Structures are given as structure tokens and as C-alpha cells.
Amino acid sequence: MVANNIGPQIEQEKATVRAMIYLYCHKNHHPFNNQLCDECSDLLQYAMQRLTMCRFGEEKTTCERCPKHCYRKDYKQQIKQVMRFSGPRMIIYHPVMVLKHIYKNIIRK
């Protein structure tokens, strides 16, 4: 079942992934003018598409708890690298997002 109505849960998930990719890119690839490098831009576009098409829609858990990982192998490796780097740093740059993410992990098991 494909979600065709994007709601606040998916939008929050998109915002979190977007923030993580931007943080990763700016700290590792040093792009110009607050833009993403081509590799990170491609990953962001792919991640947004996957979230838009998520079969679980508004009932989606966080990606780390999802029973069906939907990323292609190459993108899955990239997003894992981004999350490993950005995850611990998010508490400094986006503390509210971190609290919402933790809360979502607790209530949606």
C-alpha cells in the first residue's frame, strides 16, 4: 500500500533526514553557498522519494525500527554512513528533532 497523502509524521521524518544529510555534507564535503554536493543531493532526493512512497505512511516507525527497509543497497550504505556521523551531532544542532525522534522510537515499537 503506497501512501498518497503525506502527513505530519512523514514530513517530520523528511525534515530529520534532510537535516542529517545537510549536517553530514557540510562537515565532510564542504560545499559552497550552503548547497549540497552532488552525491548528497542525490541521496537527499532518493530519501525524500522513499519517504513519500513509504508503504506505512503515517504509521511509519523511524527507519531504524522499520520492518521493511526500502533503500537500494548503495543508497542504504550511504544513508547509514550519514546517520552514523550525524546522529550523535544532531543533539547539538537540532535538539528538538532528536527529542521527537527518540519519542517516536519509544511510542512506536
**Mean pLDDT in the chain?**
89
For residue 109, what pLDDT is reported?
Answer: 55
For residue 3, what pLDDT is reported?
Answer: 44
**Model confidence at 5: pLDDT above 80:** no
* Distances 26 to 17, 35, 41, 52, 69 between C-alpha atoms, Å: 14, 8, 12, 25, 26
pLDDT-derived band at 94 (thresholds 50, 70, 90) equals: very high
Query: What percentage of the chain carries pLDDT values higher than 90?
Result: 62
Q: How far apart are CA 38 and CA 55, in angstroms?
A: 28
* Distances 43 to 52, 76, 106 between C-alpha atoms, Å: 14, 10, 27
**Model confidence at 2: pLDDT above 70:** no
* Distances 32 to 12, 37, 38, 104 between C-alpha atoms, Å: 26, 8, 12, 34
**Model confidence at 39: pLDDT above 90:** yes
pTM higher than the cut 0.75: yes
Domain map (residue ranges) of the chain:
8-107
For residue 1, what pLDDT is reported?
Answer: 42
- The residue ranking higher by pLDDT, 49 or 5, is 49
